Chain A
Amino acid sequence: MTPAIEINQVYKHFGEVTALEGVDVEINPGEFFALLGPNGAGKSTLIHILAGLTLASSGNARVMGHDVVTGYREARRLLGVVPQELVFDPFFSVRETLVIQSGYYGLKKNDAWIDEIIHHLDLADKANTNMRALSGGMKRRVLVAQALVHKPPVIVLDEPTAGVDVELRQALWRFIKQLNRDGHTIVLTTHYLEEAEALCNRVAMLKQGKVVALDSTQNLINSTSGASVRLRLSSDTLPAVLQPLLSSHDEGYCVLTVKEYSEIEGVLAALRRAQVQVLEMQLLQPDLEEVFVKIMSSTESQEVA
């Protein structure tokens, strides 16, 4: 099976600065893939290389088997990109913008699909409004619509929910999930890790131009050691036997980390023996954010060493 996206040993230098340093990523058709990393990690540069907005210094990238440089016309037809910046052409209305964008992709009669996108993105009321008169959120919707006019099998969204209200976020994700179920491959960058965790089956984490983690979302979450339990106890002092498990203690709550949930039984037994009552108990699931913070800080210490 041809991968939806293949990135092979991509390097990108801007003068002295190295934005990407030997990135390898392969994304299969139908995946919902997250590209995560702090600001300046190289996420957008990587997307720009895929989209042909930036040329890689070395290495290559393919969309559905088509090289983004030598086979750029085919690669771009198969790719829809929602850029991060809120850009628009002030000369045209929403519908005109979408008709023009369709034309660039060689589509003459695209009205039925344009109507459908307009409907799904709640743009119907604004279809004939000039782009200048739209709010930021509405402009964002049009950007998404523009990326979809040619029904690309691979859709890349570069921080589509930055500064967007709840309503649009939910509508947007409903629509994108629908597209994913219909077989479109989705690649997403975001700083909202709960979004990535809820939506994406696989995650790549970038740091200073390098891939520092690449795995399924579940595996990454499982990779953090064990689970945590948050307790409010009748006594302020924790039995000595439990002290090694304590990971934090504030405002009357202690958080204990265990390797597996089955160890909680032992914790409770130790508390009973010490005649300490449990007033509140909460199991804390490890989440992607925790993994992210851990991976980012551990690679940092490696580099210092």
Chain B
Amino acid sequence: MTGFYTLFHKELLRFWKVSFQTVLAPVLTTMLYLLIFSHVLEDHVQAYPGVAYTAFLIPGLVMMAVLQNAFANSSSSLIQSRVTGNIVFVLLSPLSYREIFLAYVLASVARGLMVGLGVYLVTLGFFEVPLHSFPWVLLFALLGSALLGALGIIAGIWAEKFDQLAAFQNFIILPLTFLSGVFYSIHSLPPFWQSLSHFNPFFYMIDGFRYGFFGVSDVSPYFSFAIAVTCFLAVSWLTLQMLKTGYKLRH
């Protein structure tokens, strides 16, 4: 336990020591999205009847911040350690691959939740957002950040250099989050794009998370939950296999 706890603690310190960049900057960026989109679209878009566009937008942006920062945490920590070579200190230790997995995922969850909470608290100062069911909100935030934390491990191990990691982030993670219904309800999309959105796992996480705020969603939160859990288990299994076999870590 001490070994796992130490690595977890080290991973927390790693982002906390540069929290301007890892926590405050994403909170600010997300607030800018919110101010600009709500200013431009408030009067033009109504996603759900009776729900103001800004209120609709906030949970989506919060979840997007949670997901992106959870991914950024494990992936950038791993690639930095690998490029600079200090990953060797973890690899030389008797830490098991499960402990390494848990420590990186939980640190990602911590950063994701911290940024998400930061965005949420700041928005509360300016806008009113209902809170229908806190357990659903928490559940999707935890699942989403854990899933992206695990994906971050995969990306951080797979990428040989920062350029490849940036490609993973910009060509996979970013489009999936932007096209997941953060800024719109997928019911507003043409039928083709609507059905395509159903193949995007991020859509279910955002939709379920939003259900926690409004009690309204595009699909049932139970269904979204099932999809999110399935994705998390599948990605975790893959990540654990990579760590167990030492893929790209132990040549």
Contacts and interface: CB of A to CB of B under 8 A. Distances in A.
Interface in A87-133: 87-92, 100-108
B3 A105 contact: yes
A91 B88 contact: no
A100 B4 CA distance: 11
Interface string A69-82: 00011101101010
A102 B94 CA distance: 11
Given A55-B246, A76-B93, A83-B88, A91 B14 contact: yes
Nearest to A54: B251
Contacts of A54: 250-251
Contacts of B9: 103
A105 B94 contact: yes
B88 A104 contact: no
Contacts of B86: 87-89
B88 A106 contact: no
A221 to B, nearest CB: 34
Nearest to B251: A54
B10 interface: yes
Contacts of A263: none
Nearest to A99: B6
A77 B251 contact: no
B93 to A, nearest CB: 4
Nearest to B13: A91
Contact of A146 (B14, B85, B89, B91): B89
Nearest to A146: B89
Interface in A40-55: 48, 51-55
Interface residues of B, number: 27
Given A52-B250, A91-B13, A91-B17, A104 B84 contact: no
Contacts of A194: none
Contacts of A102: 6
A85 interface: yes
Given A85-B85, A90-B84, A104 B6 contact: yes
A76 B250 CA distance: 14
Residue among A54, A73, A85, A103 with most chain B CB within 10 A: A103
Q: Main SS of the interface on chain B? A: helix
Interface string B1-12: 011011101100
A87 B94 contact: no
B18 to A, nearest CB: 8
A101 B88 CA distance: 11
Contact of B10 (A74, A85, A100): A100
B250 A106 contact: no
Interface string B53-81: 00000000000000000000000000001
B121 interface: no
A92 B18 CA distance: 12
Nearest to B97: A72
B189 interface: no
A108 B84 contact: no
B151 to A, nearest CB: 23
Contacts of B6: 100, 102-104
A53 B92 contact: yes
A94 to B, nearest CB: 14
B85 A77 contact: no
A108 B2 CA distance: 7
Contacts of B81: 89
Residue among B2, B18, B96 with most chain A CB within 10 A: B2
Nearest to B96: A73
B148 to A, nearest CB: 22
A54 B90 CA distance: 14
Residue among A52, A88, A106 with most chain B CB within 10 A: A106
Contacts of B17: 91
Contact of B94 (A53, A92, A104, A146): A104
16 contacts: A52-B91, A52-B92, A53-B91, A53-B250, A53-B251, A55-B246, A72-B94, A83-B92, A88-B84, A100-B10, A103-B10, A104-B89, A104-B90, A104-B93, A105-B93, A108-B2
